[in-house]
Amino acid sequence: MEENNIVSRESKIFVSSSSLKISSIRHLKIENTIIEDTFAEGFGMRYTRLILTAATRRWLDAGVREFSGYGSSVIQCDAEVGLENYLTPEQTYDGRIGASILAFGFSTDALAKAVAKRAGQCLMTCATSAVFDGYTQARYAEEEKAAQTKAAQTNADQTNPAPTPTQSQKRIPLGSHLRFFGDGYQKSKLLRGRRFWRVPVMDGEFFCEDSIGVGKGVAGGNFLIQSVDQMTGLSAAEKAVDAIAELAGVMTPFPGGVVRSGSKVGSKYKAMVASTSHQFCPTLRGRVDSLVHPDAQCVYEIVIDGVDFAHVAEAIRIGIHAAVGEGIVSIGAGNYGGKLGKHHFKLHQVLDAANEEEAN
C-alpha cells in the first residue's frame, strides 16, 4: 500500500496525494473547500434525445440555441432542454456535423407536445437543418455493444445480426406531425427500417424522422457553490459546467449552465408555485435562518439532468472536483428534505465511491 494513498473502510479515513481528505464521514474537504454532508434531490422525468445536423457550425449552433431557448425549468417552461454534445460527420446519419440535444418533461404527453412545437418553430425554420431520433440510435449502440461483448465472451458466431431496440419502447411523434406543413407536397421515405419525412421548404427539403424514442431519466441533480465573492464563484461555476459538458448522457439546462436564482417550493404569494431560496441569499443573512457560510458572499447552483442516476451522479462528482479551490468556501446541495424526489445524491457517497474505486 502506497504511503500517500491510505484507505480504511472501517473508519472511513482517506488520505490522498490528490488533495482529497476525509477525516470522518461528516467532514470532507477537497483542497480547502468544505463538502457539506448533505444530498441533492432529483426527480424522475421522461426524456428524449434529438440529433440535429446542418451544413455549417453557424447554422447548427443557431438551431441548438433556438430549440433550447426557454428550456431551463419545468416550473414554468414546457420542457428542460439543453445540448448534450457535438457530433462529427462520422457520428451522424446524414454525414454532416451534428449536435445531440436532450429534452426532459414530466410526462410523455407533455414532452411530445413540447418537442413537436419546438422542432416546428425552431428547427424546421433553421437553414439546412435535419432532425433524427437520437434516443433510439443511442439505445441501439448500447445494445449492439452489449451483444458484441457477450458474443466475444462466449465465442459466439460474429455473423449473427445485431439486436434492434425493443419494439415496445415508447415513442412520440415528430415528423408525422411536422409533415403537414408540407401541405400535401411532403414525401415519406423508408431508409434502413426508419421512416423519414421530406417536407419542401424554400432552401430545399426539411428532412425529419417520423418519431423519436422516449425513456425514463433523472432531472434536478445539483450542487451549490459558496464563494468569497461573486467573480470567484462564477469562475468556479464555469469550470464545473465546462467539465460536465465533456460527459455524455447529461446536460445543464440553465443559462450558461449556472443558476443564480435558486428556488424553493411555495411562496407567501398564493399565485407563486416557487420563490427565491431565501436561506441561500447572502443579503438576507441576519434576517433569516441563513445557510450561507459565514465566509461566503455568493452562492451559485449547478443543475444537472441526465439519462439515469449514474450519469447524473458522475456529473456531480466531476463538477465538484472542477469547482473546488481557492476562494470556494464550501459546496453543498439543494433538497426538499427527501419528500419530493426519489433520487438522492449524497455528496459524500458520490465522492467516496469514486475514491474507493481508485484505491482498489
Q: What is the DSSP letter of 285?
A: B
* Whole-number Å distance between alpha carbons of 6 and 15: 6
Residue 253: enclosing H or E segment and its boundaries? none
Quick one: pLDDT at residue 22? 38
Question: What is the DSSP annotation of 105-169?
Answer: ESSHHHHHHHHHHHIIIIITTSTT-EEEEHHHHHHHHHHHHHHHHHHHHHT--TTSPPPPPPTTS
Single-letter code of the amino acid located at 181: F
Identify the CA nearest to 179 among candidates 136, 124, 118, 129. 124
Q: With contact defined as beta carbons under 8 Å apart, do 110 and 45 qualify?
A: no
Quick one: pLDDT at residue 340? 85
User: 112-130 pLDDT, tens per residue?
Assistant: 999 999 999 999 999 999 9
CATH class belonging to 5-42+218-359? alpha beta
With cut-offs at 50, 70 and 90, classify the pLDDT of residue 144: low
* Whole-number Å distance between alpha carbons of 301 and 279: 13
Q: With contact defined as beta carbons under 8 Å apart, do 36 and 331 qualify?
A: yes
User: 210-253 pLDDT, tens per residue?
Assistant: 999 999 999 999 999 999 999 999 999 999 999 999 999 999 99
Say what percent of the chain tops pLDDT 70.
82
pLDDT mean across residues, the chain: 87
Identify the CA nearest to 345 among candidates 331, 358, 359, 360. 331
User: 15-68 pLDDT, tens per residue?
Assistant: 333 344 433 445 699 999 999 999 999 999 999 999 999 999 999 999 999 999
Residue 359 pLDDT > 50, yes or no? no
Quick one: pLDDT at residue 352? 83
Which set of grid coordinates corresponds to residue 120? 416546428
Residue 230: enclosing H or E segment and its boundaries? helix 230-244
Q: What is the DSSP letter of 67?
A: H
User: 268-292 pLDDT, tens per residue?
Assistant: 999 999 999 999 999 999 999 999 9
Radius of gyration for the alpha carbons in the chain, expressed in angstroms and rounded: 23
User: 287-321 pLDDT, tens per residue?
Assistant: 999 999 999 999 999 999 999 999 999 999 999 99
Residue 4 pLDDT > 50, yes or no? no
Say what percent of the chain tops pLDDT 90.
79
Question: What is the DSSP annotation of 302-343?
Answer: EEEEESSHHHHHHHHHHHHHHH-STTEEEEE---STTSS-SE
The residue-averaged pLDDT of 94-122 equals 98
* Whole-number Å distance between alpha carbons of 115 and 328: 38
| Domain(s) of CATH 3.30.70.520: residues in the chain | 5-42+218-359, 46-141+170-215
Quick one: pLDDT at residue 57? 98
The angle at the Cα of 297, spanning 321 to 314, to the nearest 5 degrees, equals: 20
Quick one: pLDDT at residue 300? 98
Q: With contact defined as beta carbons under 8 Å apart, do 92 and 98 qualify?
A: yes
* Whole-number Å distance between alpha carbons of 16 and 351: 13
Residue 357: enclosing H or E segment and its boundaries? helix 347-359
* Whole-number Å distance between alpha carbons of 197 and 188: 5
Q: What is the DSSP letter of 256?
A: G
The residue-averaged pLDDT of 146-150 equals 56
Residue 163 pLDDT > 50, yes or no? no
With cut-offs at 50, 70 and 90, classify the pLDDT of residue 336: confident
Quick one: pLDDT at residue 189? 93
The CA-atom distances, in angstroms, between 265 and each of 213, 278, 302 are 31, 11, 18
Fold of 46-141+170-215: Alpha-Beta Plaits (3.30.70)
With cut-offs at 50, 70 and 90, classify the pLDDT of residue 152: low
Quick one: pLDDT at residue 287? 96
With cut-offs at 50, 70 and 90, classify the pLDDT of residue 96: very high
Quick one: pLDDT at residue 206? 98
